[in-house]
Structure 1
């Protein structure tokens, strides 16, 4: 049986960084891997990856034997524990100037004191890493979102005292959508602080049995679906009207929502009995997509073209999911999208993120 001790012991000897992986078909045929610096129209672009992960041993150890279930069974698993020179080398090879680091929540459901300790360690370690390499790393804070009053304090501390850029939150919190009024104090504090909330899939427990079988459907289908539901709830529950200046950035291109968004505009016309008459949206559902932000992790130039057509190039930023090798050539992905003009490419590669997160480069 795998225990916390045997699991952590195994990790301790396996921190060598691996950037191996096959080039995607387009890059393999048409492009050499992009390297820093990245140029658009003869001008240097500071590229920013808003979707990159890490973990810290000190906080994981507080989870006891449950730690063995936290890391995904994937390539790149051990590289969550950043060896700085190796992560920087990988970023350079991909053409990434800066990564905005985040930690997927594994502490939801834990008691208040344990969750607070895990979050404290995570945020302190993130702040230390960013301070040591301010041109290369920024970060989204961890929050005890299942204890909303505590999360409000943690968010304020992370922004005002630690210099973090927002917070990474699960698309649901133990099966409860964060559009739920119980989380509104957190959303209000984020809006007040100008902090970005980065939505990452968490778990869709009620569908777990249907995801079993070949193909890792819990991730391939479940993760985009989780994000889709979270965004739709923000729209249809009137949350984005209540908090119009809230900055929401979602992983994996916003899941399925941008791919089939116009269906949302017809729902309450076709079936008014399934819509709450007390919630009167100020805009059509699809129009709210233009005030949300999305990473570019949609794999193909055609998918990126469609995402831009749906939400606007001003709302999209690079995302890799590193160290998990979902997208190893994010910059080439943007350059391969021939429908984009140079201004749009520059925006997606880094200018949008720099503006949204108030990033400073020396």
Structure 2
């Protein structure tokens, strides 16, 4: 039987493995930071009606410029944004891929701050962009001084800032983002996939866009909107910076069904986001209880909690899985990550992890 190694793939892809978390049918899946709350029934009915109407037009190509969707996304984001400042694609990963295709490539570099979202390196690799990582401060924080020093040392073509950071959940201050945006020569991307879960009053990098044509702010509907299966990501930036993305996108890349579904969800944004407060409450509950059990939860502005102090992460992961609870091993020694789900899911996780508390690392 032919293997991958027998095929003439690019040399720089040999030995690599594709991105992906374990997919297992379990009662409590808290491993990929989904919003585990179901879409409200009335919203689902509206989305279905819009998709059904779009089906009647599937003999025609969709609006290539997804005009109505860009207008709805601009209205949702606010900050005086115009539809010309909005881009969208099939999930924020495709948005980031467009950025790397347009602004990266052979002979160019992208900088991130490890540990961070593992797809950044994979997307860089897939576009022939050299992926460079710099370190973080203690507790996985990232100060302006640390970030700017790395930008000056490496002079990257693209800087990727995850705010809040995945997989650590660490919030990123507006001061750090502004300092990087002003220090960097190239494109600066602020990935705000989890921004809606940040503490109330947190400021978005959207406030920094004016006068900074090389700054792009990426978002997703997968998390707070509970729309992971629809695959809708988007960004805001200068219209000229977005024009470059048109050069690399596939024709008609957003289907009519995707556009219709996203418009339905955005029409009910207040109702769709009503579950965010509950998710924040469960996140704080997880952090408090993990600390009480002797683990070390990190500061989180997302819908998940990274916790250290785990003597054998593989063993704890297995013990939880045996009880029907799937969380995430993220490759940081002594650490695991768990999504903040519903109250019932959180209870199931906390009761199970309490049994595993003896496996915490001795301090």
Give the TM-score taking structure 1 as reference length: 0.30
Structure with more of its chain in helix, by fraction? 1
Larger relative contact order (CA 8 Å, sep ≥ 6) = 2
